[in-house]
Structures are given as C-alpha cells and as structure tokens.
Amino acid sequence: MKTIILSTALVAFGAPAFAGPFVNIEANSSFEGSNYGGTTVTNDVGYENKLGEKASYYIQGGPALVFPDSGDSTVELHAKTGINADLTKRVGVYGEVAAMTQDSINMNESLKLGTKVGIKYTF
C-alpha cells in the first residue's frame, strides 16, 4: 500500500517513473478501540519494476522490530510482494501478500500471513 501511495505522489508531482532498488522503513501500530496493541517497525530492502505498459510489481523484505504493548520485544523476518495494474486511465487495481516470522524467528512456528487487494478510482 505504501508503494502505491508513494507512486501516486510521484506521478502527481511529475517525477519520472522509478524502477530498481529501494529502502522502505515503516511503523505499523494496532489499536482495538482506544486500547493500544503494539507497534511493528519493518526495515525492508526491495526492488520494483514495470510489468508491461500498465502494471508494476515490487518485492521487499528485512528485519522487523516487534514492540507489543505487553510482553517482550522481538526481532522477526518480514517480506512482502505486490502488484499494481491500470485497468483504464482512471481505474487501477492492486494486491499484496505479506509474511512475518513469529517467536524471534522461530522457523518451527507458522508464518503470520496477510493479504491486501483493492481498486482505486482517480478523479
């Protein structure tokens, strides 16, 4: 999602298209109502490029620092990949799959998985 926002901002300001390596540091916090759950800071190195004329992809990964509201902080491994595609001049779709280890990079534990899909209409 952050790549989509960054890509949109670059287009809006007339910056040239970018393909190649990047660094993405991101903090994600969780809340249930007003109850704070914790923060995960991902420190990813990635690569993005075009897929034909109307699509692009990215892949990124690196260490994630997990700071739960209660309990011990851990370092995990994090990775995600995604694709963005223009269906028309005004309509685009995107999707992402992410994974992160648990329990201080314990490979005997299941990975935490997440997905994201969406459609965007530009006015």
pLDDT of 10 over the 60 cut: no
- Per-residue pLDDT tens digits for 32-49: 999 999 999 999 999 999
- Quote the mean pLDDT of the chain: 89
Contact 48, 78 (CB under 8 A): no
Q: What is the CA radius of gyration of the chain?
A: 16
pLDDT at position 12: 41
Dihedrals phi, psi of 121, to nearest 5 degrees: -110, 125
Dihedrals phi, psi of 37, to nearest 5 degrees: -100, -30
Torsion of CA 60, 123, 9, 11, to 10 degrees: 90
Distance between CA atoms of residues 79 and 109, nearest Å: 16
Contact 48, 58 (CB under 8 A): yes
CA distance to 41, 61, 67, per residue, from 56 (Å): 25, 17, 32
- Per-residue pLDDT tens digits for 13-27: 434 457 899 999 999
Q: What are the residue boundaries of the structural domains of the chain, listed by start?
A: 2-121
